[in-house]
């Protein structure tokens, strides 16, 4: 089995007649955390939407576990194990924590593992076990993000894609979310992370890509990228 789980080649797409991505290529390896960083408007969220099938590819190719999924609809990609934790969490606020988690187990493969996956989520986020009957909309931002990550894990993902998980969170809660992501990495979960918090994301990443103006402009191991002068000047204010 190849160590590459997701590969993007020369991807181009956009909205209406406005092109956002220009020949983007990246590779995510199995059991590793791959990160895409870039400023607002760099094209990161557009890339994620194209990968999971929310946006059609105009040109290029998306391969998942060696299979061409470029023209596959979003729900088919999810059934294969391509699962996204969306920007803004997108929970059902009037539903309980348990009901939100249950919504993640929508595929046949995931439905057969509900109890097992629930225990895994509780091992990551013990707080959620105490609040199963609480409405998701009454929780703090950090707790809601835990529910969103838990819902993604309930889908038995082969790769978990995070779109800006620290967005809008207080610094202490950002640390909690990144600690959870790092724990998942240590347990061998394949992940693709899009994030504006450059220092934290690259510090725990196996490999990183830098996007600017819809293109990949730099790549390398996470810990090497965070030390590069260009990154430190552009994103860390050093």
| Angstrom distance (rounded) from CA 179 to CA 186 | 11
pTM > 0.75: yes or no: yes
* SS3 state at 190: coil
Ordered per-residue pLDDT tens for the chain, 238 residues: 679 999 999 999 999 999 999 999 999 999 999 999 988 889 999 999 999 999 999 999 999 999 999 999 999 999 999 999 987 678 989 999 999 999 999 887 788 889 999 999 999 889 999 999 999 999 988 889 889 999 999 999 999 999 988 888 888 888 988 998 999 999 999 999 998 888 899 999 999 999 999 999 999 999 999 888 888 777 755 4
Residue numbers of the domain that contains 230:
1-80+195-238
Nearest 5°: CA angle at 40, between 59 and 11?
A: 10
Write the CATH number for 71. Answer: 3.40.50.300
Distances (CA, A) of 194 to 118, 123, 128, 177, 229: 25, 24, 24, 14, 21
| Angstrom distance (rounded) from CA 114 to CA 131 | 18
> Are 53 and 46 spatial neighbours (Cβ–Cβ below 8 Å)?
no
Residue 126 within a domain? no
Residue 52 within a domain? yes
């Amino acid at each position: 089995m190849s160590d590459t789980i997701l590969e993007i080649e020369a991807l181009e797409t956009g909205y209406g007649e406005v092109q956002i991505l220009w020949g983007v290529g990246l590779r995510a390896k199995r059991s590793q955390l791959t990160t895409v960083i870039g400023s607002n408007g760099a094209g990161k969220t557009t890339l994620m939407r194209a990968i999971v099938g929310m946006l059609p590819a105009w040109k290029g190719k998306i391969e998942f576990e060696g299979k061409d999924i470029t023209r596959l609809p979003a729900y088919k990609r999810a059934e294969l194990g391509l699962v996204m934790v969306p920007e803004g969490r997108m929970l059902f606020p009037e539903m309980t924590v348990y009901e939100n988690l249950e919504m993640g187990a929508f595929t046949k493969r995931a439905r057969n593992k509900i109890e097992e996956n629930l225990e895994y989520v509780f091992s990551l986020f013990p707080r959620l076990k105490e609040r199963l009957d609480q409405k998701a909309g009454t929780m703090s931002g950090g707790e809601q993000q835990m529910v969103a990550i838990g819902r993604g894990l309930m889908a038995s993902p082969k790769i978990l894609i995070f779109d800006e998980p620290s967005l809008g969170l207080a610094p202490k809660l950002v640390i909690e979310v990144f600690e959870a992501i790092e724990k998942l990495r240590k347990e061998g979960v394949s992940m693709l992370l899009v994030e504006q918090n450059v220092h934290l994301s690259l510090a725990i990443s196996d490999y990183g890509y830098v996007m600017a103006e819809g293109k990949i402009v730099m790549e390398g191991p996470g810990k090497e990228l965070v030390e590069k002068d260009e990154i430190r000047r552009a994103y860390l204010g050093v």
